[in-house]
Structure 1
Amino acid sequence: MKNLSLRWSDLDANFHLRHSSYYDLAAQERIEILDQYGITIDMMKAQNVGPVLFKEQCEFRREIHLNSKVHIITKLLKMKRDGSFWIIQHEFLSEQDKLHAIIKVEGSWIDTVKRKLARPVPDAILSGLENFPKTEDFEYL
């Protein structure tokens, strides 16, 4: 769980969180969590591999305002056993744990030199994904 610090630039003309800010906050949180589980930027550079998204979808439930106390919970929802495909879920929750938005991203790993999907996934990435927090209804694909 990460408490969010919202900026004036995150707001839209209606004075609530701009739709694209949700995606930016979720992306930053994903990278920080990957780093916590050993999938660091330096490791990805050394392995010539990086995350690639196929789909990113948000369901907006409640507005978030500048002074809102909101946190984000990021968990792995689904994954192929070899780590080559995954779905990560981000929940934006209030202090009272009311759901404001939910983002789901579907992705894989790309070989940054060949510009093709990375197969097989490096062991360090698979290990990190195995340790990544998982939803209660997590499933292998």
Structure 2
Amino acid sequence: MNFIHLRWADLDPNFHLRHSVYYDLAAQERVMILNSYGINTQTMKEQNFGPVLFKEECQFKREIHLSSKIHIETKLLNMKKDASFWVIQHEFLSEENKLHALIKVEGSWIDTLLRKIAKPVPTVVFQGLERFPKTADFEYI
């Protein structure tokens, strides 16, 4: 389990994690997982595709402070069978596994040349999302 290293600059005037930092941390976690499955910037540039977000929503449950030991569990919640649309869930958990925040991101893949949703998605995307960690209640939609 890798705990997040929070910075002083991540705090708001109430000395807890600033709301926008949750989104930044979730995005970094998501990108790291995608990279581990071959969906990286080099591949995206070569094959002219990239992720596009339709919705990003956070439910804040408990404060996170500078000294908090927090880790993020990132899993696929839903996905179309062709991997053209997906929902990724990020749980911000304490070392006692108490939920501090829940982010859900809905997205797809865009053809960066046509500036339209990529159909079909590149093979690397399909294979990577098939291997992506999934929630216990994951379902194809």
TM-score, structure 1 length as denominator?
0.98
Give % identity: 70
RMSD between aligned alpha carbons?
0.7
- How do 1:65-76 residues align onto structure 2 when only pairs under 5 Å count? 65-76=65-76
Whole-angstrom CA distance in 2 between matches of 1:51 and 1:7: 28
Q: Which runs of 5+ in 1 are unaligned?
A: none
CA contact (8 A) 1:2 1:73 kept: no
Deviation string 1:1-25 (CA, Å, 9 cap, x unpaired) is 5421111111101000000000000
Give yes or no for contact 1:79–1:85 (8 Å, CA) kept in 2: yes
Alignment match, 2:64: 64
Residue identity in the other structure for 1:20: S
Across the two proteins, how many residue pairs are aligned to each other? 141
Shift of 1:113: 1.2
Gaps of 5+ in 2: none
| Equivalent residue, structure 2, for 1:116 | 116
1:87 counterpart = 2:53: no
Deviation at 1:114, TM superposition (A): 1.1
Scaled by the length of structure 2, the TM-score of the pair is: 0.98
Query: Where has structure 1 moved over 2 Å in runs of 4 or more?
Result: none
What letter is aligned with 2:19? H
Question: In the TM superposition, what is the alpha-carbon distance from 1:27 to its structure 2 partner?
Answer: 0.4
* 1:11 alignment partner in structure 2: 11
